[in-house]
Structure 1
Amino acid sequence: MNETALDLFLTEQITEIERRLPLHLNSIKAPRVLKDAMNYSLQAGGKRLRPALLLATLKGYGVSLERGYDTACAVEMIHTYSLIHDDLPPMDNDDMRRGKPTNHNVFGEAMAILAGDALLTYSFEVISNSRHLTDVDKAMLVLLLSKSAGPSGMVGGQVADMEGENRSLSIEELEYIHDHKTGELLSFSIEAGSLIAGAGKEDQAMLRAFARDLGLAFQIKDDILDIEGDNEKIGKPLGSDKENEKSTYPKLLGLAGAKDKLDWHINRAKAYLYKTEKDHFLLHELTDYIAKRTY
């Protein structure tokens, strides 16, 4: 298999996720404006990286992808909710997201908050109602996702990120922020795939370690792209980290040092991956994709 095979996998699975997301929303009995606001951000595009990681993990174990689609949609809903709330004026105050006006600039701040709230809570309903998971799987996935997205995970990381503005952070403090704010949902996606696949405890431990390094690599690459990325590809103005006086890997280590740190995490992630008893191809290629991406 080669890069073309990864491209084909991503194209097929992104298409499938984007087909299923509006089907989930269509089944909700809710005010039209709320569903429109939810759908606006869900359909704004993006890499769909978290669903791809979950499905690639399943495929590596030879498990039917049908078993993972509901959970993949659920994690994309939570990721989207986090972006809607991050863009709000009290947080990052962004006007553009993926080349389109942010949710609150289209629907107003109150509706954007409610759309995020709805995506967050509905994600757990999607998992709980899945016809392709056992009751035990559902309970474990809901617990894992609530921890990954909640106060000890993504939300806690966002708080640490806000408190870290306008002051110089240590590398350890910066890693905590990125490990929680960004890494937790990436880790969930991989752990969820291994859980649904019924992977052994040793594999699950190695995949958790793999996912942590992958999450840190993802954020380091984001920091680098905020300096040397392409406005049009990224879909929002560059330099927001500097404008918000945030500590970043390039700020603390220099651009060359940040790139070295990126390579270090990528190589360590691969080392953990190859300790698992599975087909490594897709997750290996996705690791390189994260390191080399341009948006």
Structure 2
Amino acid sequence: MRVLVIGRTGQIATELLPRLAAAGHAAEALEPPGFDMTDPAQVAAAFDRFRPETVVNCAAYTAVDKAEDDRALAFAVNATGPRLLGEAAARAGVPVLHYSTDYVFDGTKDTPYTEADPPDPVGAYGASKLAGELLLHNAQPRSVTLRTAWVCSPHGGNFVKTMLRFGKERPELRVVADQHGAPTFAADLAEAAVTLLPRLVAAPAGDPVFGITHLTGTPWTTWHGFAEAIFAGAARRGQAAPKVTAITTADYPTKARRPANSRLDCTRAATVLGIPPKDWREGLERCLDALMKESTP
């Protein structure tokens, strides 16, 4: 199967590409500066050259705070890009797998969000990602959007790597304890994609596999709880752990508002897609093993 992957060095793409190869698929991965997903001509040329059987969009503008001042770029990458991919995919008759975010919700609900809950983003990042969902599915109904949250891996910038770095520099870390969600490891999202893609290629329009589906890790925790788990794992591997002090969101103001509730109900992923959420604690162990191996002289 020929898979066009948008993004090459991000967390999900880095985990996805070797898994596609191992499964016997031919993947073409494109990203700036050699490829601009917001340029219709470049998108069309990529489809003409590679002739994919399916597309996975791993690219996104994810600088949540910077998006408040750079809305144009956030919307170009997160909304215009998916629209152009959807239009090209529809012309080629191929499905799209796309990743989105818990930030499409305002985070005020008391229970986990389902796919039926109306989105209500409160910042530019979430608004741009919501626009991308809508534009993609309008252009190519044979698309799947996986909404996820708190993505981590041994690659790129993420909470695990930030905590480990700060933990070596500071005796105490103050971490927010009133934002709830579930860490999700990029490796699990990549494995979900490899599982899904053959089904997407074979599925006709209207198949229930298409649409928006929530997929995060399990169980739920807080950023503070996640930090404590990171340092407990690091301590088991011989790294000194700092004191982790719980604080509130109000104690750590940011330019863009973060959802207090990022819990996503993943029932549809398990029942319709056949992909139950993975335990993030197992993903954390694998991530720490990889990071500690890299740091060993």
TM-score bracket, shorter-length normalisation: 0.3 to 0.5
TM-score normalised by structure 1 residue count: 0.33
- Whose strand fraction is larger, Structure 1's or Structure 2's? 2
Q: Normalising by the residue count of structure 2, what TM-score does the alignment of the two structures yield?
A: 0.33
